[in-house]
């Protein structure tokens, strides 16, 4: 029989095969017209780089020589199917595998055009029966040939090689969810009809498989009642679809049937899983497998999927199914699938180096969230940990910033029990969780002998959703470590929080490990990337809140936050730091860091604690800089002296009206008010605050400024003054409002004078016409060449005060600058001699 065959010449940059259906149209002259090439999945092959020989299977041949009256072909037409082999100058031994690529509309026009300029090809015609036989033989050989084998270039394709992320299926997923709801509403339970409907518009095998898997996850629930034996398990596809529920075999069986409808090779895989009913540490040897999932063939390579696990999870505490679509179990990479699924047949592990059952039993259980968050287990590799000196350690690495917490409870048999989410995290006082730049470390310190379950929870750093269970361990503690109680940490982890950088914290002087406190004193320094406002909290199991506030002093500078801490008790403390942007007063403070302090030596005494009325900002900082107070002689918040006095100087560039206050913790009222132990001098822009201490102890020096005339004074900063001199210092004179800028008292610098004594007064008063000291008599001071008013004044024996006064201009009125007190006269001859000296001078 002669055949007239017309062949379109093709030019493809890839190796492929295609089958032409009998519906392909013939040109008027009997030429084959190929309208759509079913080229699937070759775009996924990373090894394709240049044009290769092309095989076209199933061209239509017009038989013009068919004898009249001869029997028509069985298909009723005048065409016969033929196999057209198109070969370039490639060796005949080249084997072309049947693979899948994207459909026409997914490839650029230039790539899918049929080229009329391609080189001539050799054409061989084969009967339709031969084509069908060879195709069937090739199909039967595929599972055996491809199972467990790598892709063409020797490297197995991973899920990410098939699709970058699940967003590429948005169109398919939306259609399936919508169509699935409509089919259920219409009570359509026929597998073929459902598959045709949900795969409508799918452009390749991958999208068809995705449509089937999404439909299964959204339309079939896990049959809790059947699993618990309270009702008959549904297995057949029709029963599962009609009831909308099934156990694992219902999912896997239905998946297989639906894949068969679209021509996708799909196998059910039996094996063990760490799902509902699994007990950590149980031996699975000689135990019948309890789970079924699927393997599918795509592009000549097997992939794994589990629609049962993708549909949601089982809450055994409430005996209910929680619907939660989990995309992780769609074409899961074998290296990750093996953590929770162990097939009966080793070949279905799809691993180059298969795992033994014993290794599967020992492996740490990781949820899908562990992998989707990009976490990496550093230690341990096995789920069961035995403490060493009462301590167990585990650590997890991460590529993207994450937030962690954990839960430790008494051991229970079932793995899947308890909560799978943590809305509010309270880390128990049995361990230390610290998060560094790229890893999380958990140091567990069980409180007593026994076995414990540990669940680790995590979420992306920027997420506001609850923390999700990511992995589990069991900890066996033969003997606990004898130690003091660790305070609870409700703020996720120790050290800088994962989000500290976004809050403005650049670095810390203290890491996440426990800090040893020496001499009962600790200082924390946090460098900032922008001006921040900070609040600190100190917690100890036996420390009262009122006392704890007296243990903290915070200095706030534009690029540094410093927290001074006192520890009055031995044991562990939690120091928490909360920050917000300095300018954003309407924003809430957020936790930026938590530090564990351990004080096991000398402690701070009660009389060494900070004053109770300290402000939020101690020492020079952002607030003082803003109002123009600068060049402080003391740049730290805490100033110590052994001399019983000190001077603090700074510059007042805006000439603000200032006010100072001295305070301390006192059990009873002092004979002389503490205000008399402060003396301020203003010269040009420089301000000097002189302090004389009435005794040893801790004092607060408060600095205030009036920013706008008529308004109240605003706090600028507090200094903490520590005086270790036991000898009381003298008070200063009592100053009045006439004492203003430019006035300087040189002598006497004390406000309590000896009686019946000659005292030299030296003072500078700008603009004064007369300066006098008034007591029992008035003594006028004289101005010297340095414009200093000076003169000697006799104090007398009267308890009357001496007043330093001045007048300006032509006014005869005198304004009091300050007053001096005179000590009480002592009985004895000394007073008589002082009186005689006074008479001689007169």
pLDDT given for residue 461 in this prediction: 83
Say whether 309 sits in a helix, a strand or coil. helix
pTM: 0.66
Q: Which residue has the tokens 């259980």?
A: 365
Q: Is the dihedral of CA 823, 826, 832, 834 positive or negative?
A: negative
Q: Cα-atom radius of gyration of the chain, to the nearest Å?
A: 44
| C-alpha dihedral (98, 102, 103, 107), degrees to nearest 10 | -130
Residue 106 has pLDDT above 60, yes or no: no
Q: Which residues pair with 706 in a beta bridge?
A: 657
Say whether 242 sits in a helix, a strand or coil. helix
Instruction: Compute the distance between CA of residue 401 and CA of residue 436 in angstroms, rounded to an integer.
Output: 10
pLDDT given for residue 430 in this prediction: 81
Q: Which residue has the tokens 């409180």?
A: 447
Q: Which residues, at least 6 apart from 306, have a Cβ–Cβ distance to it below 8 Å?
A: 251, 293, 294, 329, 332, 341
Q: Which residue has the tokens 């006028």?
A: 780
pLDDT tens digit string along 669-715? 778 899 999 999 998 889 999 999 999 999 999 999 998 888 899 99
* Intra-chain end-to-end CA distance of the chain, in Å: 157
487-515: average pLDDT: 87
pLDDT tens digit string along 422-447? 655 555 568 888 888 788 999 898 98
- CA 368 to each of CA 40, 249, 458: distance values in angstroms, whole numbers, following the listed order: 29, 21, 12
Confidence of residue 420 (pLDDT cuts 50, 70, 90): low
- CA 605 to each of CA 541, 547, 552, 719: distance values in angstroms, whole numbers, following the listed order: 18, 12, 14, 20
218-238: average pLDDT: 85
pLDDT tens digit string along 357-403? 999 999 999 999 999 999 999 999 899 999 998 999 999 999 988 88
Tokens of 581: 């942007």
Residue 77 has pLDDT above 70, yes or no: no
């Amino acid at each position: 029989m002669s055949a007239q065959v017309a062949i379109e010449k093709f030019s493809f940059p890839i190796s492929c095969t295609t089958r032409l259906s009998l519906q392909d149209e013939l040109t008027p002259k009997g030429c084959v017209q190929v309208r759509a090439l079913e080229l699937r999945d070759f775009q996924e092959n990373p090894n394709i780089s240049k044009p290769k020989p092309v095989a076209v299977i199933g061209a239509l041949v017009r038989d013009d020589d068919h004898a009249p009256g001869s029997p028509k072909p069985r298909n009723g037409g005048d065409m016969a199917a033929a196999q057209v082999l198109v070969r370039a100058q490639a060796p005949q031994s080249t084997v072309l595998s049947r693979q899948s690529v994207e459909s026409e509309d997914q490839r650029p026009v230039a790539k899918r055009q049929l080229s009329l300029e391609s080189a001539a090809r050799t054409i061989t015609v084969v009967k339709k029966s031969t084509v069908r036989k060879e195709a069937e033989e090739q199909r039967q050989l595929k599972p055996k040939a491809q199972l467990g084998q790598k892709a063409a270039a020797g490297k197995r394709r991973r899920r990410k090689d098939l699709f970058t992320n699940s967003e590429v299926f948005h169109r398919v997923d939306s259609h399936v969810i919508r169509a699935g709801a409509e089919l259920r509403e219409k009570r359509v339970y026929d597998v073929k009809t459902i598959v045709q409907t949900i795969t409508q518009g799918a452009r390749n095998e991958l999208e068809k498989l995705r449509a089937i898997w999404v439909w299964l996850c959204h339309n079939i629930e896990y049959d809790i009642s059947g699993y618990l034996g309270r009702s008959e398990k549904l297995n057949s596809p029709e029963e599962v679809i009609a009831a909308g529920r099934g156990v694992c075999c219902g999912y896997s069986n239905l998946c297989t049937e639906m894949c068969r409808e679209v021509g996708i090779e799909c196998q059910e895989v039996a094996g063990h899983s760490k799902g509902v009913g699994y007990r950590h540490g149980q031996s699975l040897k000689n135990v019948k497998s309890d789970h079924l999932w699927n393997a599918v063939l795509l592009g000549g390579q097997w992939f794994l999927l589990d629609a049962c696990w993708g549909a949601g999870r089982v809450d055994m505490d409430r005996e209910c199914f929680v619907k939660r679509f989990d995309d992780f179990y769609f074409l899961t990479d074998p290296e990750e699938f093996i953590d929770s699924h162990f097939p009966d047949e080793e070949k279905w592990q799809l691993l180059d180096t298969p795992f033994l059952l014993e290794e599967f039993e020992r492996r740490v259980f990781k949820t899908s969230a562990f992998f989707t968050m990009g976490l990496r287990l550093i230690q341990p590799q096995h789920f069961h940990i035995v403490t060493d000196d009462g301590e167990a350690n585990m650590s997890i690495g991460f590529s993207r910033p994450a937030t962690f917490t954990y839960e430790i409870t008494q051991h229970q048999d079932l793995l899947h029990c308890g909560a799978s989410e943590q809305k509010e995290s309270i880390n128990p006082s049995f361990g230390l969780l610290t998060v560094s730049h790229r890893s999380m470390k958990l140091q567990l310190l069980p409180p007593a002998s026994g076995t414990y379950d540990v669940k680790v929870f995590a979420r992306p750093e920027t997420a506001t959703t609850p923390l999700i269970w990511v992995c589990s361990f069991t900890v066996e503690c033969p003997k606990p470590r004898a130690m003091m109680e660790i305070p609870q940490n409700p703020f996720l982890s120790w050290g800088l929080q994962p989000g500290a950088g976004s809050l403005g914290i650049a670095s810390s002087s203290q890491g996440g490990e426990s800090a040893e406190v020496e001499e009962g004193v600790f200082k924390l320094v946090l460098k900032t990337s922008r001006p921040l406002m900070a609040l600190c909290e100190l917690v100890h199991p036996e420390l009262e809140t009122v006392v704890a506030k007296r243990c903290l002093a915070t200095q706030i500078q534009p690029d540094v936050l410093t927290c001074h801490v006192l520890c009055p008790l031995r044991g562990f403390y939690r120091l928490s730091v909360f920050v917000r942007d300095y300018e954003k007063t309407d924003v809430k403070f957020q936790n930026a860091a938590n530090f564990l302090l351990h004080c096991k030596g000398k402690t701070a005494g009660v009389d060494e604690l900070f004053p109770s009325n300290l402000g939020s900002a101690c020492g020079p900082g952002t607030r003082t800089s803003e109002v123009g107070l600068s060049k402080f002689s003391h740049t730290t918040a805490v100033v110590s002296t052994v001399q019983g006095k000190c001077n603090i100087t700074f510059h007042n560039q805006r000439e603000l009206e200032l006010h100072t206050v001295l305070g301390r913790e006192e059990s009873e009222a002092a004979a002389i008010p503490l205000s008399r132990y402060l003396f301020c001098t203003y010269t040009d822009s420089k301000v000097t605050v002189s302090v004389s201490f009435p005794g040893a102890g801790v004092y607060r020096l408060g600095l205030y400024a009036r920013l706008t005339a008529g308004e109240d004074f605003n706090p600028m900063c507090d200094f903490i003054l520590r005086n270790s001199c036991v000898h009381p210092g003298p008070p200063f004179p009592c100053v009045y409002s006439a004492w203003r800028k430019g006035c300087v008292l040189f002598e006497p610098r004390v406000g309590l004078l000896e009686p019946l004594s000659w005292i030299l007064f030296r003072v500078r008063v700008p603009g004064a016409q007369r300066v006098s000291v008034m007591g029992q008599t008035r003594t006028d001071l004289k101005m010297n060449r340095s414009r200093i008013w000076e003169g000697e004044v006799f104090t007398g024996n009267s308890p009357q005060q001496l007043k330093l006064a001045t007048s300006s201009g032509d006014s005869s009125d005198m304004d009091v600058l300050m007053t001096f007190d005179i000590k009480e006269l002592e009985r004895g001859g000394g007073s008589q001699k002082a009186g005689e000296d006074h008479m001689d001078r007169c």
